[in-house]
Every structure is written in structure tokens, then in C-alpha cells.
Structure 1
Amino acid sequence: WWNKIILISLVFYIKNNKDNIDELELNDKDIIDIPDEIINNENNKNNIKNFNYKDFYKAFEKIYPNKEKPSKDFLNWFIGFFEGDGSIINFSRANSFGLVITQHRDNVDVLHYIKDNLGYGIITKQGKYIDRYIVQGIDDYYLMLLILNGNLILPYRKKVFKTSLDKFNKWLSTGNSTIRVSYIEYKDYNLLPKLNNHWISGFTDAEGCFTISMLLSKTGTYRHRIKFILSQKHAINLPILSHFLLLFKVGYIEPHSNKDNYSYIISGLKNNKLIYDYFDNYKLITKKDSYNKWKALIKKLEDKEHLLNHEKALELKFETKLINPKKGNGK
């Protein structure tokens, strides 16, 4: 399926005025070929179906023999979160390496969650509203590379990671590394998001959004628009984003107004209930409160509470604004 992608444009969406999509019919005109540069050897990769942390656990036991190892569930979540919000810093100096995850101060708890589970790294403040989890020591950076190597899903992330790994291996070849750190052979497996691990939960914590809006109709009643949105940059990642269509068997891909930005969107009350099972079993961290408020409000809308009277409709409309509260800096 790597040479096809379901793509419904924003123009098509507006033109058909689907304010509350519960079922979306697709036909051949909605399926387009992806350019060869996007496919980029995906068809020929080793078909490894699950995350593998064997190399990481082996190295972790040597470097931190007295520390508890991070669980596989946490690592699956972490990779999804990192692919959304993390970055590897490529310093100009040959012997300088770093990995960072940046969050608004309102979400600083997730950085402590990461640090506590991994058992290394530091958390620093950057300005009034920003906190960062940073890994810079050679041993710790080495462990991070082992976590990510062969376990990344997004093609663009793999590309950036390989550049960083090549730099690290080049530095190792100079003989300046510690005895515990060795050459890392780059791995690139054909992993896909699945509904039986925490990767989607982590990725949603970084890039997901649960929204409800209520619009006043010409008849004086309120209509609701319920959406779950996963957004991602770079066309090379579209095959992964489109895979959510196969996983949840609902939704569509929509290009953003900003160039080279895309979203996977589930719209409509019935359709969004299809993701409950996953997120109820694989808990969110940063988006947990938003998800719970979103889900509770969907139940009220399903019970048609917004149609009881105008005052109740206004009350529910106010609740929609509480799903994703503004951050401390007003954003």
C-alpha cells in the first residue's frame, strides 16, 4: 500500500460542505500516486513488526546496573512522543551531542515522567514559559540512540536520525569514546503504527488534538462539530499518516494551509467513538484531561442535551472551550 495514499483536499472538503461527517465515501478519484521520492525504498525494508529494545536493555544494564530498566510500554510511548516533540541536536563541534524535548511549562510533568522512567537526563528552564528535557552525556546519549535505532516510524525522523548517528559513529572511530560505548549499526525497519502498543498514545500526546465546536444554525439551534486531529509536517510522512485510515477504518487526510503540513482527521460523533477503545486502554499523558473532557462532552451531545434549551446549549458551548485550555502565556 506504500505506493498509494488516500488524500482528500481542503477544497474538496469545503466544496461538499460536510459539517458533521459520520460516513465518508471514497472512490478512485480520491486515491493518488505518491512520487517515487516519497516512497523511497519503503517496499524493500526488512519487515520487523514490533519494537525491539534488546540492544538498549543490554547497554543500560552495563551503564546503570543498579537502576530499574524502563518498561517496554513506556519506551513505546516515548518513541511516539519523541517523534512528535523531540529533536536531536547536531552541534558543530565533533564531540558534542544532544537530545532535547521542549514543552510549555504547563506540561513540565511529562518531562519529569520521562526523566524518572529513563533514569537519566536533566530538566532546565528556558525563559518564562518553556522547559526542556536534555540528554548530553556520552553514555546517556548513546542509550538514547539505541532506543531510537530501528524503532522510529516516521520517514523524516529516520532521515534526521541517521545523520546524527553517522556523526556519532564517526566520532567513535577517532578512539575518543569511553570503553562502554561502541559503534552502532544503523537499522531501518518497516514499522507502522499499531493499536496494540503505546506509540499512538505518545504521538497523540505530542501532535494530537481533541476538539468540539458548536455553531448556531439558521433555525436557532446549535450544531456540533467533533474532531480528532493528528498533524504532521513533510510529505514524506504521508504514508504513515494515511495508515491511520486503515487502523481506525475512518477519517480522511487534509492538507493544511501551511505548506507541507498535513492532518489525519476523524469528524463526526459516531466516527470519533471508534477511537475510545484504543485511548481507554493506552492512556494519554499530556492530553489525558483534554481527552476525558472531550469524551464526556460527546456523551452529553449524544444524549442531545444541547437541544433541551438555549441555556443548556450555551453551557455546553462554554464547556467546549475547556477541552483545550489556553497555556500560561495565553496561547
Structure 2
Amino acid sequence: VITLGIPCCYFISMYLHTNLLNVDIKEEGFIFTKFYQLYSKYYPNNPLPSEEFLTWFIGFFEGDGTFVIGKHEKYLTIIQPAINKHVLTYICSNLGIGNIDVHSKGNNTLSWSVKNHRQIYLLCLLFNGNLVLPTRLYQLMKFIGYINLILLKNNVNIIKFKDYIKRPSLNDTWILGYTDAKGTFSVNMTKLGTYRVKYILRERYECNKGVLEYILGLFSKEMLHRPQDSKAIMGPGSGSLGAVTQHHNTPNIWLLYIIDNNCKYILSYYNKYKLISKKIDTYNMFRDILVSDSINLNDIKYISKSMGNINRALQG
């Protein structure tokens, strides 16, 4: 029984503190069969959450969620600034599980948490085999190890852990959910009186860098499919819209960034799939500047300030 916990901690430590990326990738879409089967059994009167929502939710949880392993409690939670309360309500209403509570009055944050054992089991089935970030895979391994120990003690079938990750695409909503958690749309004024448009995704740990590079590759293909647009500026690496680099001030933080006119190649995805968080407001302003043929500098200054206020509120 002890081995259920120890290997998980060992693999997480080994994985997060080395540059080795020894994880399998399944070249297939997100699969929700087992989740749907159990959800229908637990909640026969509830409508099934859509695949579009579930894929968004996985991306959002991988960005902002936490597997909590306390001495007395094991549960899942997502903490958000109050400005994003509607996101937690959206999750709660679509899944039909979990509770929303005040997390910190001082920081003005709320939390959505799932502590019911049956509901935790259900979410483990959802995440198992459907995660994208390598670090999240090994965090789930550890979490499932503890949950399986509880299941064994209660003579319940354990969860067979799936030790591989998936790849998102521009035809699903994982990147959308991840952007709602980790993305930034901004317009910044320069000292020369001009402006820069920026799209950024950020993530911790070098072992997750490959996911950011993969997402950048997906958006770069959008550019290659439209070679008639001569305004695209190649980033580092042939055929790349931008770059993935280490944050210059913060160790172990990696940034995917696309700037200025190249940002036009992400618009088709975010126009097709709508952001749920307050970032939809910054995206709309970001998009309007990119597609406008005539916008004056005073308007851009106002938009830049508005976007900055929202981004700061989201960061807490």
C-alpha cells in the first residue's frame, strides 16, 4: 500500500528538477467516455456537459487549478479574483458539482472546490488521459495515488493511471481554457509615442516549454496557410510567428509571445471560440486595434490603460 504514494513523489521530484522530458504523447483527441458513463450514473437527470466545455475546463484547470493533498483532506480547487466570479459559476453550473466560497477577503478572491469523494473520483476520470502539461500529469499521478489508497481501504475499484499527455489543436477549446487562465492580451505605449500589441502565454518549468512551443507552431501554421499576407514578421526559427523564451526577471517562468501584426494570425481561433473570463474584454480591444485601418493615438492610449487595469485586476 505504501508504494502508491512514494513513487509519485519520486517521479514528481525527478521530473520537475531536471531537463529530461520522458513522457509519452498520445496523438489523439480528448476522450470522455468513462467520465460520461459515470456522470450519467451519478446524475441521470442532469444534461451531460458538452465536449467543448470539458476541453475548455481541462485547459483552464491545468492553468489555474490545484490538486490539494493535505494531511486530512484531498480535494480539487480553482482560485480566482472576484472579477472572474462568473467563471466559477460557469464551471459549477456546467458540471453540476462543487461549491463556490470566499477564499480570501483580503485578496478579494473566490474558490470553486470539490471535496465530495464521488465527485473527486469523477473528475479524476475526466483528467486521466486528457492532460496536456507534463507537470500536471505527474501531479495527477500523485493525487490519484492517494485517492486509490482511499478506494482500496473502502474496497472500491481503483483508477488505472494513464501515463501520457495529449496535444491540443486549433479545433478544440483546450488552448481557450488555458488562455483564460494563463494568457494576456495587451497594448503598450512606447517611449517613442508608438505602441506594441502583445499576446502572451506563460507557464512554469522548462519541462512545460514544449507545450508552449507546440501552441506557437499551431498558430504559425495559420501564417503559412496564408502566404499572401506579406506583413507577417518571422520570429526566431523558420516560419515562426513569435518565440518561447525564459522570463528575464523570474527564474523557471517561460513565455510564449507574439507581437504586433503577427497577432492577426491568432484571431481566427479566438473569434471561433469565445473566452469565458474577463479576458474577453481585453481580447476585444486587442482585436479591434489589430483590424482597424484608422485608429488615432489618443484612442490607443485609452485602450492601453483600460486593458492594463483589467490585466492588473486579473493578476490580483
TM-score (norm 1): 0.79
CA–CA separation in structure 2 for the residues paired with 1:329 and 1:62: 37
Amino acid paired to 2:71: S
SS in 2 for 1:259: coil
Unaligned runs of 5+ in 1: 1-34, 307-312
Partners of 2:188 and 2:89 in 1: how far apart? 33
Contact 1:49–1:190 at 8 Å: present in 2 too?
Answer: no
Deviation of the 1:315 alpha carbon: 3.2
Is 1:281 the equivalent of 2:281?
A: no
Describe the SS at the equivalent of 2:111. Answer: strand
| Structure 1 counterpart SS, 2:166 | coil
**For residue 245 of structure 2, what is the amino acid of its counterpart?**
E
Give 3-state SS (helix, strand or coil) of 1:68's partner. Answer: coil
The 1-side partners of 2:201 and 2:315 are apart by: 22
Counterpart residue number, 2:218: 247
Query: What residue in structure 2 maps to residue 298 of structure 1?
Result: 290
Instruction: Report the secondary structure of 1:38's partner residue.
Output: coil
Q: Distance in 1 between matches of 2:92 and 2:128?
A: 20
Alignment match, 1:102: 79
Supply the AA of the counterpart residue of 2:22: N
C-alpha distance in 2, partners of 1:149/1:131?
Answer: 26
User: How does 1:113-132 map onto structure 2 within 5 Å?
Assistant: 113-128=90-105, 129-132=108-111
C-alpha change, 1:39 and 1:193, in structure 2 (3 Å) is: farther
> Within 2, Cα distance between the matches of 1:324 and 1:126?
24
Relative to structure 1, the CA distance from residue 329 to residue 292 in structure 2 (aligned partners, 3 Å threshold; closer, same or farther) is closer
Query: What's the counterpart of residue 203 of structure 1?
Result: 178
The count of corresponding residues between Structure 1 and Structure 2 is 276
| 2:131 pairs with one of 148, 152, 158 | 152
Percent identity (aligned): 34
Q: Which runs of 5+ in 2 are unaligned?
A: 1-15, 221-240
Q: Secondary structure of the residue that 2:306 maps to in structure 1?
A: coil
Deviation string 1:230-258 (CA, Å, 9 cap, x unpaired) is: 00001110111111221111110121111
Tell me which protein shows more helix as a share of its residues.
2
Pairing partner for 1:167 from 146, 162, 169: 146
Residue 150 of structure 2 aligns to a residue in which SS? helix
Larger radius of gyration: 1
Cα distance change, pair 206–46 in 1 and its aligned pair in 2 (3 A):
closer
Q: Which residue of 2 aligns with 1:62?
A: 41
> Greater shift after overlay, 189-198 or 254-263?
189-198
Aligned twin of 1:38: 19
Q: State the alpha-carbon separation in 2 of the partners of residues 216 and 241 from structure 1.
A: 30
Match of 2:233 in 1: none
Which residue number in structure 1 is paired with residue 255 of structure 2? 263
Cα-Cα RMSD:
2.0
CA apart distance, 1:160: 0.7
- What SS does structure 2 have at the residue aligned with 1:213? strand
